[in-house]
Amino acid sequence: MTEPTPPTASPPSAPTPARGSSSWRRLARAGAPRSTKAQALGAALALALGFAIATQIQQTQDSGLDSMRQDDLVRVLDDVSQRSSRLDQQVRELQSQRDALTTGANTSQAAIDQATKQLESLRVLAGTAPAQGPGIKVTISDPTQKVTAPMMLDLLQELRDSGAEVVQYGANRVVASSWFSSSGGQIQVDGQPLARPFTVLAIGDKATLASALNIPGGIVETLRRADATAAIEQLDTVRIDALQSPRTPRYAQPVPESGTPTSTPTTK
């Protein structure tokens, strides 16, 4: 009779590593940011670009009057002084008119005279009456035909900003409602073509008008960059005979005075 064989004890098994923690470590290593040469170069370029932008902004802020030449500064100061004197004169005229209307012995006649004078001024501003006075004549030569309608509009804005009261382009009276366009290299004002060389007449303080057009970065410099030249003549008398026909507003209506009954629009 055989004796039973005792059971053989199996050797202890090694501990099994936790699969979950190992997977999380591999995922963390894969998602961790890695410093590459491309990333370092991109960061350096971003820093350089930011520094360049900051420097350019600082230079732009500092390049005001400090960067202008002495003769340019004198011209700007003279232009500002002349504008200030013109505004002071207008204030004195308005104060004199107010005193005549409020304290004069014959206020009714003063009111009539003032209304008549105002009517004549409005006719001149509206372009329905000829005008004359000191001013300038601008002759623009454009051999390469690079002058555009926006440039002619910029010229008009420069003239108005410097106090021009009446302006004429070629044979066309320019008023508040005038507009510029271009077609096939030809510039038009109010639909009428302008012949080259362009001729512009303006009535106002001739010295102020001339200095405003020649200011650094102004319209004369803009025309020069377009291969055009602008000759400016200061004249004691400029006569503008071109007229504009009165235009009836299509949409604008006068606001009724206080107390005037108004009709209430009805809706359907």
Q: What is the pLDDT of residues 218-266, one digit of tens each?
A: 899 999 999 999 999 999 999 999 988 877 888 888 888 765 555 555 5
Which tokens is 90 given? 């207008």
For 15-165, strand residue ranges (E) read 131-141
Q: Say what the pLDDT of residue 193 is.
A: 93
Helix spans in 128-257 (H):
149-161, 206-213, 219-225
* CA–CA gap between residue 96 and residue 114 (Å, rounded): 11
pLDDT of residue 268: 46
**Contact yes or no for 209/203 (Cβ under 8 A):** no
Residue 226 corresponds to which tokens in the numbers above? 């377009």
Cα 256 to chain centroid, rounded: 34
Count of Cβ atoms closer than 10 Å to residue 82 Cβ: 18
Residues 85 and 91 sit within 8 Å (Cβ to Cβ): no
Q: What pLDDT score does 257 carry? A: 74
- Partners of 133 in beta bridges: 238
Cα separation, 189 vs 54, whole angstroms: 43
Of all residues in the chain, the percent with pLDDT exceeding 90 is 37
The closest of 166, 143, 169 to 223, measured between CA atoms, is 143
pLDDT exceeds cutoff 80 at 95: no
Calpha distance 206→60 (Å, rounded)? 32
Q: Mean pLDDT of all residues in the chain?
A: 78
Is pLDDT of 150 > 80? Answer: yes
21 against 123, higher pLDDT: 123
Q: Are 152 and 180 in contact (CB under 8 A)?
A: yes
The answer for residues whose C-beta is within 8 angstroms of residue 164's C-beta and 6 or more apart is 135, 202, 203, 204, 209
Q: State how far the Cα of 228 lies from the Cα of 147, in Å rounded to an integer.
A: 7
pLDDT tens-digit readout, 35-94: 555 566 666 667 766 666 666 565 545 445 666 677 667 767 777 777 777 777 777 777
Which of helix, strand or coil describes residue 162? coil
CA 158, 160, 165, 170: dihedral to nearest 10 degrees? 50
Tell me the pairing of strands 192-193 and 198-203: unpaired
Contacts (Cβ under 8 Å, ≥6 apart) of 16: none
In angstroms, the CA 101 to CA 108 distance is 8
